[in-house]
Structure 1
């Protein structure tokens, strides 16, 4: 199943976006909307249905064809239009210089792996009107320690191979060994290109005695503007599964911890020069015993 089909078959994200568009349909009425990436076509179609005067899609032409077929023969079929080409090469049709709203399913695994982050930033700086909306615009990245994890569709004896130091998978809530730590808040309304990559410290307390085999990265998605503010969905282990998976970083050597023990360290995310839209991670840590039993989630 390709990405666009996986998105359309994900009831969690689809229902979240549907509620947003239906609840705040007044924001779209008679507005010009740009769908950056048109990954599933769902956001374009919803924008048309709630009253946008024009919806322009860039990126996935297969999904754009889906939207055109869905609107074919209706009184709204002329509202939607797709443009083929990279975001840096295209021009808006009809001499348009600005758009009122940017929509995009821009997030990838761990937010930035295979994401459209830079495409949205480019479109925002070039075409979005002052005070215009980006939907969704906020993604908050977290990490937590996990116990033994056997990836879906993998043999257990393959886990320690070099190829499986990092993978995308679903982690169960009972595998969580620590409280989660907030690594980064990304707000596309104010972010710049350099914010895509980062490094910094982390600290988290162990929930119980045991062995930490790795760390899981996950994130929450939301919309936060003056006119609209609401959570959409989560990619966390405690949330229902979505088309996006969590990112698991395995440790070379497992880490023994006691309940309430503090795990501190640093993590960095950088561009993978050998893979377009790919990322690389660095990770280091230490443990510090913490005697207090009053720890927050």
Structure 2
């Protein structure tokens, strides 16, 4: 499955000149508040320091950094939206702190940023985290301009996966105001199978505990690391339900505050059980509904692969696997005989260790 995307960098940046896109992001209070809290929590490490805002857009993150006392903020924006960032800086009285640079990060030179920066801030995340591949620009900025001990906001991210039910694609069409519309629902699914959907999913429609598809450390990750991500999930249904798709979402973790002893890092999560964000969740729709019992195994391979024709586009490929033919985890709780026996042996072994320890 392939997610539609822009054809080249010029079109990508032009797409961000649409005010409706920025309105959507600026109305996302979960997004804004996570960045604001993380920046405020780390203000002691930002006060009097140099910050680079990668893909500054309308400039809201640059202003957050200026508000906590950053000495200088380089707000880099390649689209014509840079004009809005200029006005935002002036409107908030930070035109002498925030320097807006109308360039691609990849085209920056020492003439644009003549010093190493103490921190990088960027809202680079796309649908299912990697859509649009803006993380590439953050990596370039990190390698060229960030001090060795500099901060990155956010500093890590994780992609999650769980099988799910999708009533909006299946059961909702069994009765539409007293009329069966299953044939129409089948047509919808046929279209949906060609590319992932971006929708909100009820957490009750997740069929099992999620698994981490990939964890990304922004201090270490390279562009090559992002070319292909592969993941095998041997999931076990925790309920009687219909298996109709695979749900993807992500979370981002910001730098750990160095202040109060009990301080915790800010986490921005797009999980179904969290308040909704403009990213929502990504759904990969199966062509048919599969009935699941509690304990039923669900096995699939997921590949997230960068397109060779357009490095801002990813293909999401799902291969359904036969549960009889793949290796299950040691403590697999599915109802297959081999897993029940292995689990029983392991539990007996652990209980034996406990008895020995008690003596």
Q: TM-score surpassing 0.5?
A: yes
| Cα distance in structure 2, aligned partners of 1:95 and 1:16 | 27
- Give the conservation status (yes or no) of the 8 Å contact 1:150–1:159: no
Task: Report the Cα offset of residue 83 of structure 1.
Answer: 1.3
Cα distance in 2 for partners of 1:74, 1:33 equals: 17
For 1:148 and 1:73, locate their aligned partners in 2 and report how far apart those are by CA, in whole Å.
45
Aligned twin of 1:78: 96
Structure richer in strand, relative to its length = 1
Deviates more, 1:91-100 or 1:131-140: 91-100
Where structure 2 has 5 or more consecutive residues not aligned to the other structure, the ranges are 1-18, 174-183, 325-332, 344-359
Aligned to 2:65: 47
Q: 2:323 aligns with which of 272, 287, 290?
A: 287
Q: CA deviation at 1:77?
A: 1.8
Counterpart in 1 of 2:190? 161
Deviation digits for residues 197-224 of structure 1 (CA, Å, limit 9, x no counterpart): 3113112210212221110100111114
Mapping of 1:34-113 within 5 angstroms?
34-72=52-90, 76-93=94-111, 96-113=114-131
Deviates more, 1:121-130 or 1:62-71: 62-71
Q: 1:107 offset after TM fit, Å?
A: 0.9
Compared with structure 1, are the counterparts of its residues 5 and 25 closer, same or farther at alpha carbon in structure 2 (3 Å cutoff)? same
Give the structure 2 partner of residue 6 of structure 1. Answer: 24
In 2, Cα distance between the equivalents of 1:217 and 1:159? 20
Residue 60 of structure 1 deviates from its aligned partner by 4.9
Aligned-partner Cα distance in 2 for 1:130–1:120: 15
Change in Cα spacing, 1:260 to 1:73, as seen in structure 2 (3 Å) is closer
Equivalent residues, number:
292
Equivalent residue of 1:122, what SS?
Answer: helix
* Contact map agreement 2:38 2:266 (CA 8 A) in 1: no
* Residue of structure 1 in register with 2:295 after alignment: 260
Say whether the 8 Å CA contact 2:200–2:280 is kept in structure 1: yes
SS in 2 for 1:88: helix
Residue 158 of structure 1: CA displacement?
4.2
Matched, 1:198 2:229: yes
Is the partner of 1:161 in helix, strand or coil? helix
Aligned to 1:236: 271
Structure 1 counterpart of 2:254: 223
Tell me, yes or no, if the aligned pair for 2:193 and 2:287 is still in contact at 8 Å. Answer: no
Task: Assess if the C-alpha contact under 8 Å between 1:33 and 1:99 holds in 2.
Answer: yes
User: Taking structure 2 as the reference length, what is the TM-score of the superposition?
Assistant: 0.74
1:26 aligns with 2:62: no
Which structure: greater helix fraction? Answer: 2
Deviation per residue, 1:58-113 (Å, 9 max, x gap): 12555543343233276532111111222221225566131111000011111101
Q: Is contact 2:193–2:286 with CA below 8 Å preserved after alignment?
A: no
1:124: which partner in 2?
142
User: 1:91 and 1:158, CA in 2 relative to 1: closer, same or farther beyond 3 A?
Assistant: farther
Closer/same/farther in 2, CA of residues 95 and 262 from structure 1, 3 Å limit: closer
Instruction: Report the aligned-residue RMSD.
Output: 2.6
Q: Structure 1's 195 and 44: CA in aligned 2 closer, same or farther, altered over 3 A?
A: same
Give yes or no for contact 2:307–2:314 (8 Å, CA) kept in 1: yes
CA contact (8 A) 2:155 2:255 kept: yes
TM-score, length-scaled by structure 1: 0.88
Q: 1:286 to 1:181 in 2, by over 3 A?
A: farther
